[in-house]
Amino acid sequence: MPTSKGAPPRATPATVGNGGETHQTASTPDTRLTTNHGVPLSDNQNSLKAGPRGPSLLEDFVLREKIQHFDHERIPERIVHARGSAAHGYFELTKSLAKYTRAKILTEVGAKTEVFTRFSTVAGGAGSVDTPRDVRGFAVKLYTTEGNWDLVGNNIPVFFIQDAIKFPDLIHAVKMEADRGYPQAASAHDTFWDFIGLMPESTHMIMWAMSDRTLPRSLRMMEGFGVNTFRLLNDKDEATFVKFHWRPKLGAQSTGWDEAVKIAGADPDYHRRDLFEAIDTGAFPEWEFGVQLLSQAEADALPFDILDATKLIPEELVPIQVVGRMVLDRNPDNFFAETEQAAFLPTNMPPGIDVSEDPLLQGRLFSYQDTQLSRLGTVNFHQLPINQSKGCPFQNLQRDGHMQTQVFKGRANYEPNSLAEAGEDGGPREDPKGGFRTTAPPLEGTKVRLRAETFADHYSHARLFYRSQTEIEQAHLASALVFELSKCAFEHVRNRILGNLQNVDGDLAKRVAAGLNMPLPKANPAAAPTQDMDASPALRIVGKYPETLDGRAVGILVTDGADGTVVEALKAAAVGAGASVKIIAPKIGGVTLKGGKTLVPDGQLAGTPSVLFDAVALVLSDDGCAELLGESAAVDFVSNAFVHLKAIGHTPQAQPLLDKANVQPDAGIVEVSGDAKAFLKPAATRQWDREPKVRMLA
Ligand code: HDE
């Protein structure tokens, strides 16, 4: 020990630890670091040791507190929907539903209600990527003046299973396999398809899951659905069935499969970043809020059961009435405190909204409250700021429990009580008129473990979905089935799926069998005959989303010697049309434009591939282009943009690079040096006509 005799030399804060250069000290008492219990710290660089080179001392409560808190920073991730991103915003009612409900949030036109909305993938862990083929969660917490309303939905209007008792099996089958711990966030594996083949009720959802709906381009470009059927209840306690819808202003849009795979590598946080940046730059995403309303008689007249969550109600049969809008305009301040600790509960409903007997929903009414106990660790999770009912105070006689943050006053922790008669506070009371009341539908029957006969038709809606798609979307769906089943090693499982597909549509089954190079089996027995329903064009994406640059991303690749006026003109035109623009260059330090000006890019070529953009432009010089011919990242930039059906604007100097990337001229390949605006039309959509030339689809 260097200081074995006498007291060790006392180091002053300016000389200790990290060399002093980065040692920052508080200038006022307000900015002092403290322990969790408020004791000011003198040194956050060094633990307490027996001499400068000696062992650390148990006495060091500063070190112990800091390390112990760190050791416990993580909480269990959500068992499903673990990976998510969220934002704050508001809901505004534009049309009253007073005839159907007494819920103030649906009757007070113009009133703005704070919301917190979390989007998520389902299967992957919290650290998985943003763009697997997966259903997306769409959970909205509305802080209404009559308590929180959590509309916990998905971006697909139906679900895999009809009864909550199958949920653990479904999730076990889709998540990583039990022995090997993979694949992460992917349905393309044996156990998932084994389960699906044996659960024909999942076939309709499989049509959606294999469509481009599970490859959203952006969280801002997803539709949202309440999925389960709910009820609205008016002043007279008359009930109306309701389905809830969110429709994005930017339209539902998707990436392609190859693109999604490449995005996963280029930017695993693609959706999270996109949402954060859009809100950060004031491009607030917006959704219309709509309802489908139907009476008991109208529900009874439908050829399917509205309590079955594997069925949807086509808009063409029951139109969606738009009654409100949601705008997300504020990013969370702290991901953990808000996004991670948010607890959504389908049981959170204000008076005037109620559940239906949908057996999937009934199970959810238990599950969400229950799961918060293991995730957030206490029955008091409703006291966390993000979960508090901000629109109105909560008050009841629940008391104590882990992490109780309230200091209740008085003696009334039971009810009824007559403390008020003695001049004391008797506490809150029930409100028979304004409080939550349950619908009183007539019920019948004996206790049974049975599936209703009306749930037996497993294929008509799958057929409806498939036949309602455009040819492009049908080809994508068939190709996705071929891809996923090709990752399933069990021939008997692939065969069973083909037999189920035969019930959906003979042509689809044939295409998938051909894609697998397998003989087409006979249709599997079906529990009920498959009906032909009228096609529902509303179920498409292609041809439905608005062709606009609004909300889209444009990447402009530049080299030394490029013409700065072309870059400026392109940027101005694209930004003017609502796009966000990023400049990409071979080196992050910048390029020297023609005329000598330096342009500093937003991204470096190898780290900013074209998959991150909806359309790209190449503003190159002759020399710059010649150099890029030897750079595979540049060739990939262009060839990927081409095969991902994107518009490519270019200066004439970029032609050799276009040739090397095998780009064939079409309406999406435009020369922009004289007319930047020529780029805007093709950049506002995908070049669907190009697809058959670049991809063999099933
Ligand atoms: Fe969920 N679901 N779920 N789910 N779900 C959860 O709750 C569950 C279902 C949905 O951003 C869990 O707090 C059961 C349908 C979303 O925090 C858990 C069943 C729909 C989210 C749970 C379903 C959803 C969840 C996990 C079948 C669309 C994320 C963590 C009966 C309407 C919410 C948590 C967020 C999360 C259970 C089926 C949507 C375990 C038992 C159908 C968007 O409670």
Q: Do residues 63 and 98 share a domain? A: no
Q: What is the CATH number of the domain that holds 59?
A: 4.10.91.20
Arithmetic mean of pLDDT, 657-683: 97
Arithmetic mean of pLDDT, 10-38: 73
Q: Which residue's CA lies nearest to atom 3 of ligand 1?
A: 364
Q: Do residues 665 and 636 share a domain? A: yes
Res. 15: pLDDT tops 80: no
Last residue within a domain, chosen from 328, 362, 387: 387
Instruction: Compute, in angstroms, the gap from residue 566 CA to the centroid of ligand 1.
Output: 49
Q: Which atom of ligand 1 is nearest to the CA of 168?
A: 41
pLDDT tens profile 145-170:
999 999 999 999 999 999 999 999 99
pLDDT tens profile 98-141:
999 999 999 999 999 999 999 999 999 999 999 999 999 999 99
pLDDT tens profile 398-421:
999 999 999 999 999 999 999 999
Q: Do residues 146 and 68 share a domain? A: no
Q: What is the CATH number of the domain that holds 298?
A: 2.40.180.10
Q: Do residues 244 and 373 share a domain? A: yes
CB neighbour class for 414 (10 Å; exposed up to 12, middle 13-18, buried from 19):
exposed
Residues in the chain: 698
Q: Do residues 61 and 96 share a domain? A: no
Last residue within a domain, chosen from 352, 387, 422: 387
Q: What percent of the chain has pLDDT over 70?
A: 97
Last residue within a domain, chosen from 363, 387, 411: 387
Global pTM reads 0.96
Arithmetic mean of pLDDT, 33-41: 96
- Residue 428: inside a domain, yes or no? no
- Residue 414: inside a domain, yes or no? no
Q: Do residues 110 and 53 share a domain? A: no
- Residue 449: inside a domain, yes or no? no
Q: Which residue's CA lies nearest to atom 39 of ligand 1?
A: 153
CA distance 284 to 119: 15
User: What's the domain range around 570?
Assistant: 553-694
Q: Do residues 17 and 153 share a domain? A: no
Is 239 within 8 Å of 232 (Cβ atoms)? yes
Question: Ligand 1: which of 136, 170, 243, 344 to mutate, judged by most atoms within 8 Å of the beta carbon?
Answer: 344
CA distance 340 to 84: 8
- Residue 492: inside a domain, yes or no? no
- Residue 52: inside a domain, yes or no? yes
Half-sphere exposure of 71 (CA within 13 A, CB side): 6
Res. 5: pLDDT tops 50: no
CA distance 572 to 558: 16
Arithmetic mean of pLDDT, 78-90: 98
- Residue 107: inside a domain, yes or no? yes
- Residue 251: inside a domain, yes or no? yes
Pairing of the two strands 647-650 and 553-558: unpaired
Question: Ligand 1: which of 75, 77, 81 to mutate, judged by most atoms within 8 Å of the beta carbon?
Answer: 81
| DSSP for 18-68, written as a single string | TTSTT----SSGGG--B-TT-PBPS-SS---BSSTTSPBPTT-HHHHHHHH
- The per-residue pLDDT for 108 is 98
Q: Do residues 5 and 107 share a domain? A: no
**Residue 553, H or E segment:** strand 553-558
Q: Do residues 241 and 292 share a domain? A: yes
Q: Which atom of ligand 1 is nearest to the CA of 138?
A: 43
Q: What is the CATH number of the domain that holds 614?
A: 3.40.50.880
- The per-residue pLDDT for 24 is 85
Q: Do residues 244 and 379 share a domain? A: yes
- Residue 539: inside a domain, yes or no? no
Number of domains in the chain: 3
CA distance 316 to 253: 21
Res. 13: pLDDT tops 70: no
Q: Do residues 328 and 350 share a domain? A: yes
What is the pLDDT of the chain when averaged over all its residues? Answer: 96
Res. 496: pLDDT tops 90: yes
Instruction: Compute, in angstroms, the gap from residue 507 CA to the centroid of ligand 1.
Output: 34
Pocket of ligand 1 (CB under 6 A): 78-81, 84, 118, 120, 137, 139, 152-154, 159, 164, 167, 227-228, 309, 342-344, 360, 363-364, 367-368, 371
Instruction: Compute, in angstroms, the gap from residue 61 CA to the centroid of ligand 1.
Output: 41
Q: Do residues 52 and 128 share a domain? A: no
